Structure 1
């Protein structure tokens, strides 16, 4: 509004093209915190306020009578833009808050928001141009740092082994490459702006809507676009985009893990069936000798119900004179991993003793606290 007012006053008080006939307007421009210049039709500066000289580092006597090109305040990449603006100004057009760059006297770049307009004489003839420059360097530096930060996080999300989906009002705002691959999308279409129903298999559309309302880790069976089932872990959280709530959901494909767990369970079940039906006594103990499993043969050979000795120490069932020998064999097994054979008298449930030959083996090389201990009557 100040610029418009100044132009009107310049017109009202202009006499012999004296743009400063109004001392009031000169005071307003002199005191402005924005850089202001007035140029003649030839493009030469006929007025520059103190804020302009402070903004670009030039003294007033260095600026007056010079064009912007002569002052070298226009970056090379902006010369075409500057020439285009000048041409359009002569045709009566004005520009407001146009972001561009200027060169400081010391060579550094200054980012500015520029407003250009013409001023006229009493007969409405253009007699020059007025330019107001507002320093936005700090803002542009902040925006650049913010954009750099966003780019870093975007690259991180792009390479995550987890699927990431952001949606708002059931419209997709972002989907990373991993979630596209999980669901089975073969194209690289971003789906931005599309309804979330178009993204998932028809069987899962209600699931994802329910998931969006929950804020805890969930595991379930989902479907690829071809209908093939898969196991996914998913968790959602609320975020705000443009001051409105949105949902960020992270997906982790655990199909491979679930397959291994199933195979392991089936394997354990098979071996348990074998162990339960062997005539030899089979037990599984930890690194401290605590019994974790005992086969049914314990009942037949020693009179113990398998469940009754779970949690007991294996060595408490060894006849005391042979206990040191058994403990030494057990320790050697833990340290070396080599199969150990040892003979000793085992205590029966009724207090009697029976000679056994025990064979100790590690079940898993990386889990030294898991040991298989099988015994047979000697």
Structure 2
């Protein structure tokens, strides 16, 4: 039971996890999980070694600078890196590295936890999605440009359908001079769909505007696709002629086919993606979301269209999200952010977004492409990892590191309010005899039960921490006087005296306790108070054990 959580850290996390100890401006490996060992072909032999002992010089110096940056800035550092797996030297892999400093009670960074996540597939997907979106935007611009910069061709017809006149754009499209077309029917230059053209003209002769797409043979024999609109020319409620307005859409038709193919590819990716894919226009409105929104957030993807892209983000994360996106657009650089957003059950999920602004050929911002994944489970792992760093793995109680922090907080309150502060050190009498007689498994169970009984004895009045072995320390804040401290010690002693049944064994367990009251002094230190409590503990031992003593000057 003592190592179950460590096993989770070693075997249960897909991301690579390293715990690095900070020592005299050096960094030594203290822990690495199974993923790290498998991906980088490392083993536990590196524990206790520095970067320079394990890695090539260039890699070691790079890591050393990153970890130094964490020490200097005293904050979490996230960056992207690349590496080659040992089993596949030719293939480049990409990762996102998160360095989290762990501080002791005095504010010194003593460890740095590194979580390395493989983002190779994400970067490939983001690159492909960006390429598809850029192709779609490029095709759309060409399509629009084709209609903007080429004037429509206009022909006039009499009631019998013969051409009577036309503008200069007719020549630019067909290659025919207007004089060559006058007196001819439009049917003479249409390549196919003669019946449909005659039907379109007949509809216009009846007073209705009609249109269609046709194939036209120009003067050089080229076949063009045109969009033709036939409009009746009406005078005194009588159709006296026709206008034929047409434009060459040959290139546009080809572009549409390309566009449809690009969109088809994009949607195949989006509709089969497990992550959330979002397109956001320059106004911050969502124009597309992938169907995966239903699986991850519980919303139908159409519910998001037209809404502001951060409408569902936790209020505490809104400002930070907007600031990061604005900087990304200004710098034309991708962004990464961790934030919370609400799902359909009103639950807040931790998510991570990787976004990239897309600009047109005129370098004007067009839209954002954003890939988002649910990292709630990863956040829970990080929380457990932090708990592991601050708590004893056997008892679940605070360890020395957390106890230091709690002492500094209690000391500050004590000096501010003069409300009393006491410290107790206690252990199990003759614990070695229990270990030797019943074995270490029983010994571990005794330590767990001992810690539980101490915790139950003091309730919410202080902090219980395990120092190591069978030795525990209690910090009592807001203790009114010595009598209160002695009452708590007596309560602990009585609690320990109650019968012990451990794994079928009946045991006689007692404890010795040393108590020290904190003097009101700015120079008060934890080590000073613990030394006094330790002296009192040995006085209790010398008096026959199963007792408590108060340190007295």
Q: TM-score, normalised by structure 2?
A: 0.34
Larger radius of gyration: 1
Q: TM-score, normalised by structure 1?
A: 0.47
